[in-house]
Amino acid sequence: AQSVTQLDSQVPVFEEAPVELRCNYSSSVSVYLFWYVQYPNQGLQLLLKYLSGSTLVKGINGFEAEFNKSQTSFHLRKPSVHISDTAEYFCAVRRTGGGNKLTFGTGTQLKVEL
């Protein structure tokens, strides 16, 4: 079984400041890693994913994440946030080798303030 821990339930940040949203996972098998974003009253949208290759993954809207296997982490970063980045962010894992189910963390609410 897999589990995902998002250490911060809320992250307030000022506009144009950098932000890091933390994600750690636990799994006895190898996994793929995902970040999804949910804007108010909407469904989830894929931000980025790590399947293999370079451990630094770039996604949409200027976000990037780095896979660290030794620390079992997949933290999400953006060097300069915008008001429009205010949303809830979910980290998720799915086992490799034919797995289809995503296991999600509890989410981090990013609030960008002026």
Partner 1 sequence: DVKVTQSSRYLVKRTGEKVFLECVQDMDHENMFWYRQDPGLGLRLIYFSYDVKMKEKGDIPEGYSVSREKKERFSLILESASTNQTSMYLCASSSRGGTAFFGQGTRLTVV
List residues near partner 1 by CB under 8 A: 6, 9, 34, 36, 41-46, 49, 90, 98, 100-107
Non-local (6+) Cβ contacts of 2 within 8 A are: 25, 26, 27, 29, 31, 93, 94, 95, 103
Task: Provide the sign of the torsion angle of the four alpha carbons 54, 55, 60, 62, taken in this order.
Answer: negative
Nearer to partner 1, 13 or 102 (CB): 102
User: Considering the complex, what minimum distance in angstroms separates the CB of residue 6 from partner 1?
Assistant: 8
User: Considering the complex, what minimum distance in angstroms separates the CB of residue 70 from partner 1?
Assistant: 25
Tokens of 94: 């799915």
User: Considering the complex, what minimum distance in angstroms separates the CB of residue 103 from partner 1?
Assistant: 8
Nearer to partner 1, 41 or 54 (CB): 41
Residue 61 DSSP label: G
